[in-house]
Structure 1
Amino acid sequence: MKRRMIARSLLLWVGVVAGPLGAVGLTGCATSGYDHLVTNDQHDIHRVENYLNGLTSLQASFVQTGPAQQGDGHFTYAPGRFEMVYEVPHAMRAVARDGHFVLRNADNGAVTHLSLKRNPLGLLLRRPVSFDGDVQVTNVSRGAESLQISVAEANNPSQGLLTLQFADVRGKLTLVGIQGVDARNHHFGLSLFDVQENQPVSEDSFILPE
């Protein structure tokens, strides 16, 4: 049961469930981009875009939080794609690229294919990453040595919300968290630790599971 819950919480977030957004509150006509935001917010969004587009890779340990269970493993990101390899509660591997998300459960061999074309997670996989045009920036918030932005599809915000969390130490950003809320208000999050940037990554990491 615990193994099934981990996989289900991940799949819920990437869009296997659809419906009204409810508590997220992104209904109605959306405002594209971030020109409507105050100057400080626009500046920080530019910083995030420059940071993400300046990465050749990012590798980290992760802890996943979901509706009922947790998992952990290794996260590898390169522009336009990422891989998640689970160690706990059991072996699973997920790859997102080219508008697709594929999860393979090593426990039973099951493979699940999902589309990211109408999912906020797909916004992170754009090359280059841009939060203008058909993207709506819904929130920018700052803390002690931290920065967080939330984004959604401008034309269809009810599909969900993606929140990127960064350490912001002496002006240097580091991605440390990815949070999502799907169309039925299911929450999913990754906390990233021991982050290493711009290290060599094998392209084998981004081969879709079969």
Structure 2
Amino acid sequence: MSMLTPPGMGGKYRITGTAYPRMRRPRRRRRLVLAAVAAVAVLGLGGWGTLQLIDVFTGGGKKTEAKRNTAAAACEPKTQVSAAPLPPRPGQITVNVYNATPRSGLAKATADELRKRGFAIGKVGNAPVAYDKKVPGAGLLLAGPTAHEGRFRVLATQLNGTQLKTDTRTTADIDLILGTAFKTLTAKPASDKALGALAAPPKPAARC
């Protein structure tokens, strides 16, 4: 038995040789590495959570609120900043009816029909020399510079294919000069529908 064999131990526990067997050191290094990795992970999560809290209290909340307000504003009806004024009613428009064609009685018949449709009628007769037999289309609407604000649009609903022209008059009346291509006024149901579209205010459009 070797001197290295502890008392009472023999057989397979017998130690032979003249040196003690080398004993492995505990695997503390691996545990230390794992502990360090875990600590880094915990610190990283803690730092991320702290940044989130700082973002909420210093500005992140404002950004989120701004996004919500933008989304809500997108779903609100979009209205015109300055809506155009409603056009005048037919009864507020005085129409002078002139016949620039070779057909007789055309101005009177047209004026009578416009009166039935609610327009105020002024002068009725043959067209002035400057326009007599010189209007090739269905008709010409002639009025002062402010007629474009509504009077032209209203009277144009009664006759398709009219031309628009302004002169230097300061009165609010408007001339309807019947041209060579004139046959009849626009059918009343169609003209009433067009007038209704002019009088209806624009509807706001919602976008979401």
Q: Which has the higher contact order (CA 8 A, sep 6+)?
A: 1
TM-score of the pair, normalised by structure 2 = 0.22
Greater percentage in helix: 2
Q: Which has the larger radius of gyration?
A: 2
TM-score of the pair, normalised by structure 1 = 0.22
